[in-house]
Amino acid sequence: MLKGIPKILSPELLKALCEMGHSDRLCIADGNFPAESMGKNAIVIRMDGHGIPEILDAILSVFPLDTYVEKPAVLMQLMDRDVGKVQTPIWDTYAEIVAKHDARGKDAIGNIDRFDFYEEAKKCYLIIATSEGAIYANVMLQKGVIA
């Protein structure tokens, strides 16, 4: 046990986060995301039973977002056929969490096309597979530096 470390951050996850360097990326994936096939070249850590908001908040308490890029947190954009039909209230939750840990708040969050998101996820150092049930809930984070 360590003081000040959120209990949801397992030793395995803390090790992976520590190993990451500036500009390395991680993906926190929802329950529908193909984490194992996307993560063939990444470390894949399963966090079944947990949702993304609690994981995101814990990670951002120890993980600096990159200040050298405009949008160090990236969400999967809605597909055209889902625009106006699918609601993404979890994105508002993410904005609140990011604002708690990064002065840029929601301005640190961007969106990219679903298939571009998949391609970028294949390049991530770490993919965290969760049981998150919200759709379009995947989030990718780019690590910054601690000055």
Structure tokens at 67: 């200040």
Q: Please give the distance of CA 30 from its chain centroid, rounded to a whole number.
A: 10
Q: Which of 24, 82, 107, 118 is catalytic?
A: 118
Q: Give every CB contact of residue 3 below 8 A, 6+ residues apart in sequence.
A: none
List all residues 6 or more positions away from 122 whose beta carbon is below 8 Å from its beta carbon: 38, 39, 40, 41, 42
Out of 57, 66, 102, 136, the active site residue is 66
Task: Answer yes or no: 50 catalytic.
Answer: no
Q: From the candidates 22, 68, 92, 116, give the one annotated as an active-site residue.
A: 22
Q: Tell me the two tokens of residue 10.
A: 């397992």
SS3 call for 71: coil
CA gap 57, 40 in Å, rounded: 26
Active-site residue list = 22, 66, 118
